[in-house]
Chain A
Amino acid sequence: MRKRHLSRGLAILLGLSLAVTLSACGSSSTNDSSNGPTGDYTGPDVTVTFWNGWTGGAAPKIVPQLVEKFNSEHKNITVKNVPMEWGDISAKMPLAVKGGKGPDVAVAHGDDIATYAAQGLIQPTDDIISSLGYSETDFPDGVFAAGNYTGNQYGIPWSVTPLGLYINNDVLKAAGIDPSVVPSDKESYLSALETLKTAGTQGEWVDGYVFTGVFQFKSLLWQFGGEVYNKDVSKSTFNSDAGVEALTHMTDLIAKGYSPADVAPDGNINALVAGKTAYNWNGVWQTTNEALQKTDWSAAPVPQIGTEKAVWSSSTHWIFLNNKNQDKNKTDAAAVFVKWMNDNSEGWAETGELPANNTLRNSPDLLEKYPNLKPFIDELPYARYETSAPGITNAEAELATAVNEAILGKKSPEQALDDAAARADKILEQNKSQYGG
C-alpha cells in the first residue's frame, strides 16, 4: 500500500516570484533577490526546505553529501534535506503547503504534478526553466510534457525510472538456456519460459500489485497499441481489446504454468533473488537491490510481446511549492539549488534512477560506471510515462484493482477491466467537475 504511493509523490509549491520573472526577462536590476540567468542568488540568507522520497538504496548517503556540498558553496543559502517515504509525502505535503508549512522545493512523480497544479500547490516553472536554459529536447520524449498542465510547465524533469527485464543467469544455465541470448519478442520469450517449465522452473512470476503487475500491464497495453485513457482523459480506454490482450497475456502465464498463482507483493523479485525464477519485469531501481547483488543477474529491455515497442516508466520532477505566504527569496534560492543539482548529479545513477537530463545520462562515464543501466537507457526512446491529469491517481487505483482481480482469478481479464473502467470513468467525471479542465 505504502508503495502504491510511489505514484503520488510530492507536491511542492514554490512561489515563483515576480523577481524570478523579472530577472528571467533580464531586468534583474530592479530587485536585489533575483536569480539571474546564471543561477546566482544574491538576496538575504535563507533556509530552503527540500522534501524528497529518497529513503532507500544509495540516496540516503548521496543526497546529504550533495546538499552539504551545495551549502558550503553557497554562503547565503542553506538547504535543509527532508527525506521521507513517498507515501508520507503525499499524505502530508498538500495540507502542509496549504498551511504554509510545506517545503520550498521538492521532487514529485509525474502523475502528481497536474493534481498539485490544479490544487494550487505548485508554481509554474516556465521562467525558472528558461532561466536555467532548459527545453523539451533536453529530456527524453514525453518526460517534459508530463510536467505540463493547462499550457504551463510545472516541473523540471529530474529522473526517469523505466521497467526492464531482470534475469537470473544461474537459473537460466540450470535449465540449459544460454544467458547471452536474451529473448526480445513474444516467441523467444515464451519459448524460454517453456524450456524453464520443462526444467521445473516457473520462469516469470506475475503479481497483481502496482509494483509491478500494473507497470507490466501498462507496458503490454501500449505494446498492443492501446492507451490507458482517451486524449482528454475523460474516459478510460484500458479495457480496450489491447488491454484485454495485455492482461490475458499475464493471466495466461499463470494458466500455462509459467508463473505460480497468488504471487505476493515483491514476491517476484524475491523469487529472482532466491533463484526460484529466471525473469522479472521490474523497475530500474532494483539495480541497487543489495540482496540481488549476491546473485548472477543481468538486465535487458523488456521483450516486445505486442505489436510495437513500448515500456512503462515513471518520472520525477522538481517542483516549487506555493506555500501560504511563500517567501519568494526561498523560491529563488531553490531554483539555484535545482540548477546546481542538475549540474552536479553525475553520481545520481548510483541511486537506481536514470538522470532525465540527456547530456548527463548520455555521458560515456555513466555507463562505464554503471553498465547495468544500459538496457534501461536503451529503452527510453520508446518509453511511455504516467498520464498527467488532476486527480488521475484516484482512477489509477481502479486499474490496479482490475489487474489484481484478474491475476488472482477473481474475474476474467475482460470483466475486471470493464468493471474498473466503469468506476474509473465516474472518477474521471468527478475529477473534471472538481478540477475543471
Chain B
Amino acid sequence: MTKQAYASPRDTVLTHTQATKPTATRHRRRLKAPTIALYGSLTILALIILIPLVWIFLTSFKSDFDAINSSANPIPNPFTLDAYKTLTSGEYPVFTWFLNSLLAATMQTILILVTASAGAYALARLEFRGKKFIFGLIIATLLVPGVVFLIPNYLIVDSFNWIDTIWAVTVPGAAGVFGIFFLRQFFIGLPIDFEEAARIDGAGDFRIFFQIVLPLAKPALATLAVLSFLGNWNDFIWPVYVLLSPEHLTLQPGLSQLQGAFTTHYGVIMAGAVVAAVPVLVIFTLAQRHIVESVASSGVKG
C-alpha cells in the first residue's frame, strides 16, 4: 500500500499533463488500484481520528451503569439525557461558566491582537536601539518551562487584586510571545512596496500600520485570533488557582468539579467533555480552511 501511495504522485502528474492525450484511458485504468488504496488509507485514518470523538459523544447519553457494563457498544441503552440534566440542573452554573469562558477568551484575544500586532510591526519594520536584546529575551523566555511562572504570576496577579476576577484569566495569558512572533513573521513576508510608496507620500508609521499593514495582515490576524481563543478556552491549570467563586469559574475548571471525587459518573464526565469540546470544534469547522492554511504557511515560511 505504501508503495502504491508513494507511486501515485508521479501518476497524477502524468495524468494531469496528458489528460487530453489518447493515452489517458490507459493511465486511468492504471490509476485505479492506487486510488482505491489512497482513499482507503485516508478513510481509515479519518475514522481513527473521528471514532473516539463520536464514541464519547454517544457515551454522554448513557447511564453510568450502561457506561460501565457495555462499553463495547457505543449505542446508549437506555438513551438518557441524565448527564445533561445534571449539568443544567442549577446545582452547577454551567451556563455562567460558559459565558465566563467566552468573555475571557474574547477579551484575551483582543488584547493579544492589539499588543502583538503593534509590537510585531516595530520588530518587523523598524530599526531601533535594543531590538536585538528584546528579541533575544523573547526567544529565551520561550524555553523556560511554564510551570516556573505559576507562583510568581499568582503573587503578581494577587498584588493587582485580580484573584477571583476575570482579569486574572484574561491579562497575564495575553503576555505570551506567540502572537508577536507569528505576526512579525507574517509582516516580514509582506511586500514592502506599498509601505515605501506611502512613506514617500509622507505617511507616518501609524498611518502605514493602520492603513496598509493591518489590512494586508487580515488573514494572519484572524488565525491568531482563533488560536488565541482556543488557547484560552482550553487552559485549565491556571484558572484552577486564580478563580475561586463558583460564579467566576470558567468552563474548564468548572467542569472538573463535575468529576465527583468519590464516584464514577462516566455519563456526566463525558457530557462535560462534550460541552467543552463542541464550541471549539464548531469554531474550527467554520474557520478550518483559514486556520489550517495559515498554520501551514507560517510553518513553511519559517
* A residues at B contact (CB < 8 Å): 2-3, 6, 53, 55-57, 60-61, 64, 80, 82-88, 91-92, 95-96, 99, 101-102, 266, 269-270, 273-274, 283, 285-286, 288-291, 294, 352
Residue pair B262, A85 in contact (C-beta under 8 Å): no
Residue pair A99, B65 in contact (C-beta under 8 Å): no
Complex: A296 Cα to B263 Cα, angstroms: 18
Partner of B264, one of A86, A95, A291: A291
Contact sample, A vs B, 19 pairs, CB 8 Å cutoff: A2-B256, A55-B257, A56-B262, A57-B262, A57-B263, A61-B91, A82-B244, A83-B257, A85-B256, A91-B240, A95-B158, A96-B164, A101-B163, A102-B244, A274-B69, A285-B262, A288-B263, A290-B65, A291-B68
Within residues 42 to 101 of chain B, which ones have a CB less than 8 A from any CB in chain A?
Answer: 63-65, 68-69, 91-92
Complex: A274 Cα to B65 Cα, angstroms: 8
- Give every chain B residue within 8 A of A96 (Cβ-Cβ): 163-164, 244
Q: Is B178 an interface residue (CB 8 A)?
A: no
A88-B256, A92-B244 as given contacts; A6 in contact with B261, CB under 8 Å = yes
In the assembled complex, the CB of B161 is this many whole angstroms from the nearest CB of chain A, namely 9
Complex: A92 Cα to B158 Cα, angstroms: 13
- Give every chain A residue within 8 A of B163 (Cβ-Cβ): 96, 99, 101
Residue pair A86, B261 in contact (C-beta under 8 Å): yes
Among residues of B, the one whose C-beta sits closest to the C-beta of A9 is: B261
- Apart from A96-B244, A99-B163: 8 A-B pairs, beta carbons within 8 A: A57-B260, A82-B245, A85-B257, A88-B240, A88-B256, A92-B242, A99-B158, A101-B163
Chain B CB within 10 A, most for which of A2, A3, A87, A95: A95
Instruction: List the 9 shortest-distance A-B pairs measured between CB atoms, nearest first.
Output: A56-B260, A285-B262, A291-B64, A291-B65, A99-B158, A60-B91, A294-B65, A56-B263, A56-B262
Complex: A82 Cα to B264 Cα, angstroms: 22
Q: Is B154 an interface residue (CB 8 A)?
A: yes
Interface size on B (CB < 8 Å)? 29
Within residues 244 to 302 of chain B, which ones have a CB less than 8 A from any CB in chain A?
Answer: 244-246, 253, 256-265
In the assembled complex, the CB of A376 is this many whole angstroms from the nearest CB of chain B, namely 14
Residue pair A91, B263 in contact (C-beta under 8 Å): no
Q: Is B135 an interface residue (CB 8 A)?
A: no
Residue pair B263, A289 in contact (C-beta under 8 Å): yes
Residue pair B241, A83 in contact (C-beta under 8 Å): no
Among residues of B, the one whose C-beta sits closest to the C-beta of A82 is: B246
Complex: A270 Cα to B244 Cα, angstroms: 33
Residue pair A273, B65 in contact (C-beta under 8 Å): yes
Residue pair A101, B246 in contact (C-beta under 8 Å): no
Residue pair B265, A56 in contact (C-beta under 8 Å): yes
Complex: A433 Cα to B264 Cα, angstroms: 40
Among residues of A, the one whose C-beta sits closest to the C-beta of B65 is: A291
Among residues of B, the one whose C-beta sits closest to the C-beta of A275 is: B69
In the assembled complex, the CB of B238 is this many whole angstroms from the nearest CB of chain A, namely 11
Residue pair A85, B263 in contact (C-beta under 8 Å): no
Partner of A3, one of B68, B244, B246, B261: B261
Residue pair A290, B64 in contact (C-beta under 8 Å): yes
Partner of B262, one of A82, A101, A286, A294: A286
Among residues of A, the one whose C-beta sits closest to the C-beta of B249 is: A84
Complex: A57 Cα to B68 Cα, angstroms: 17
Complex: A67 Cα to B240 Cα, angstroms: 24
A82-B246, A101-B164, A291-B264 as given contacts; A64 in contact with B64, CB under 8 Å = no
Partner of A88, one of B69, B253, B263, B265: B253
Partner of B257, one of A64, A88, A270, A274: A88
Residue pair A92, B240 in contact (C-beta under 8 Å): yes
A95-B241, A270-B264 as given contacts; A85 in contact with B64, CB under 8 Å = no
- Give every chain A residue within 8 A of B158 (Cβ-Cβ): 95, 99, 101
- Give every chain A residue within 8 A of B258 (Cβ-Cβ): 55
In the assembled complex, the CB of B47 is this many whole angstroms from the nearest CB of chain A, namely 26
Within residues 122 to 161 of chain B, which ones have a CB less than 8 A from any CB in chain A?
Answer: 151, 154, 158
In the assembled complex, the CB of B110 is this many whole angstroms from the nearest CB of chain A, namely 27
In the assembled complex, the CB of B262 is this many whole angstroms from the nearest CB of chain A, namely 4
Partner of B260, one of A55, A64, A82, A273: A55
In the assembled complex, the CB of B162 is this many whole angstroms from the nearest CB of chain A, namely 10
Among residues of B, the one whose C-beta sits closest to the C-beta of A96 is: B244
Among residues of A, the one whose C-beta sits closest to the C-beta of B90 is: A64
In the assembled complex, the CB of A230 is this many whole angstroms from the nearest CB of chain B, namely 31
- Give every chain B residue within 8 A of A60 (Cβ-Cβ): 91-92
In the assembled complex, the CB of B5 is this many whole angstroms from the nearest CB of chain A, namely 37
- Give every chain A residue within 8 A of B241 (Cβ-Cβ): 91-92, 95
In the assembled complex, the CB of B72 is this many whole angstroms from the nearest CB of chain A, namely 12
Partner of B261, one of A53, A82, A91, A274: A53
Residue pair A83, B69 in contact (C-beta under 8 Å): no
In the assembled complex, the CB of B164 is this many whole angstroms from the nearest CB of chain A, namely 6
In the assembled complex, the CB of A259 is this many whole angstroms from the nearest CB of chain B, namely 18
Residue pair B240, A274 in contact (C-beta under 8 Å): no
Residue pair B264, A283 in contact (C-beta under 8 Å): no
- Give every chain A residue within 8 A of B64 (Cβ-Cβ): 290-291
Complex: A299 Cα to B257 Cα, angstroms: 28
A64-B91, A83-B257, A270-B68 as given contacts; A290 in contact with B263, CB under 8 Å = yes
Complex: A101 Cα to B168 Cα, angstroms: 14
A82-B245, A82-B246 as given contacts; A95 in contact with B154, CB under 8 Å = yes
Among residues of A, the one whose C-beta sits closest to the C-beta of B63 is: A291
In the assembled complex, the CB of A194 is this many whole angstroms from the nearest CB of chain B, namely 27
- Give every chain A residue within 8 A of B91 (Cβ-Cβ): 60-61, 64
Among residues of B, the one whose C-beta sits closest to the C-beta of A352 is: B262
- Give every chain A residue within 8 A of B164 (Cβ-Cβ): 96, 101
Complex: A86 Cα to B246 Cα, angstroms: 14
In the assembled complex, the CB of A280 is this many whole angstroms from the nearest CB of chain B, namely 13
Complex: A273 Cα to B91 Cα, angstroms: 27
In the assembled complex, the CB of B59 is this many whole angstroms from the nearest CB of chain A, namely 14
In the assembled complex, the CB of B165 is this many whole angstroms from the nearest CB of chain A, namely 10
Among residues of B, the one whose C-beta sits closest to the C-beta of A99 is: B158
Complex: A84 Cα to B242 Cα, angstroms: 14
Complex: A158 Cα to B168 Cα, angstroms: 34
Complex: A2 Cα to B263 Cα, angstroms: 12
In the assembled complex, the CB of A335 is this many whole angstroms from the nearest CB of chain B, namely 22
